[in-house]
Amino acid sequence: MNTANITWMLAETGIKAFVIVNIILVMASAEVWLERKVCAWIQKRNGPNRVGPFGLLQPFADVVKLFMKEDIIPAAASKNFHRLAPLLSLMMAVAVYAVIPYANYVDVMGHRVYLGIAPNLNIGLLYILAMTTLGVYGITLAGWSSNNKYSLLGGLRSSAQMISYELSMGMALIGVVLVSGTLCLNGVIDKQVGWFWHWNVFCQPIAFIIFTVASFAETNRAPFDLPEAEPELVGGFNTEYSGMKFGMFFLAEYANMATASCFIAILFFGGWQLPFPQEMLGLKDGSVQLALAQFSSFFIKMLLFIFFFIWVRWTVPRFRYDQLMSLGWKILLPLSILNALFTAIAIIVFKL
Long-range contacts made by residues 3-12, C-beta under 8 angstroms, separation at least 24? 8/111, 12/111, 12/113
CB of 57 to another protein, least distance (A): 18
Longest Cα–Cα distance of the chain, Å, equals: 65
Which of these segments, 58-66, 80-88, 176-184, 307-315, binds another protein (CB under 8 A)?
307-315
Do the beta carbons of residue 218 and residue 169 sit within 8 Å?
Answer: yes
CB of 100 to another protein, least distance (A): 27
Q: Quick one: which of 2, 4, 44, 280 contacts another protein (CB under 8 A)?
A: 44
CB of 41 to another protein, least distance (A): 4
Residue 338 engages another protein in binding (rule: CB under 8 A): no
In whole angstroms, give the CA distance from residue 62 to residue 64. 5
CB of 45 to another protein, least distance (A): 5
**Which of 7/46 has CB closer to another protein?**
46
Residue 161 φ then ψ, to 5°: -65, -45
By CB atoms closer than 10 A (0-12, 13-18, 19+), residue 233 is: buried
How many helices (H) and strands (E) would you count in the chain?
Answer: 13, 2
CB of 148 to another protein, least distance (A): 33
In whole angstroms, give the CA distance from residue 290 to residue 347. 33
DSSP code for 196: G
By CB atoms closer than 10 A (0-12, 13-18, 19+), residue 276 is: exposed
Residue 46 engages another protein in binding (rule: CB under 8 A): yes
Query: How many angstroms separate the first and last alpha carbons of the chain?
Result: 39
In whole angstroms, give the CA distance from residue 308 to residue 216. 11
CB of 113 to another protein, least distance (A): 40
Residue 130 engages another protein in binding (rule: CB under 8 A): no
In whole angstroms, give the CA distance from residue 208 to residue 211. 5
CB of 47 to another protein, least distance (A): 9
Residue 43 engages another protein in binding (rule: CB under 8 A): yes
Do the beta carbons of residue 259 and residue 284 sit within 8 Å?
Answer: no
Q: Quick one: which of 60, 81, 114, 311 contacts another protein (CB under 8 A)?
A: 311
- Total residues contacting another protein by CB under 8 A comes to 14
Residue 21 engages another protein in binding (rule: CB under 8 A): no
Which of these segments, 105-113, 192-200, 236-244, 313-321, binds another protein (CB under 8 A)?
313-321
Which of these segments, 119-127, 142-150, 157-165, 306-314, binds another protein (CB under 8 A)?
306-314
Do the beta carbons of residue 111 and residue 129 sit within 8 Å?
Answer: no
Q: Quick one: which of 84, 312, 335, 337 contacts another protein (CB under 8 A)?
A: 312
Residue 202 engages another protein in binding (rule: CB under 8 A): no
Adjacent-strand bridge partners of 113 = 106
Which of these segments, 189-197, 250-258, 292-300, 312-320, binds another protein (CB under 8 A)?
312-320
Which of these segments, 57-65, 189-197, 268-276, 308-316, binds another protein (CB under 8 A)?
308-316
| One-letter identity of residue 198 | H
Residues that bind another protein (CB under 8 A): 38, 40-46, 209, 311-312, 314-316
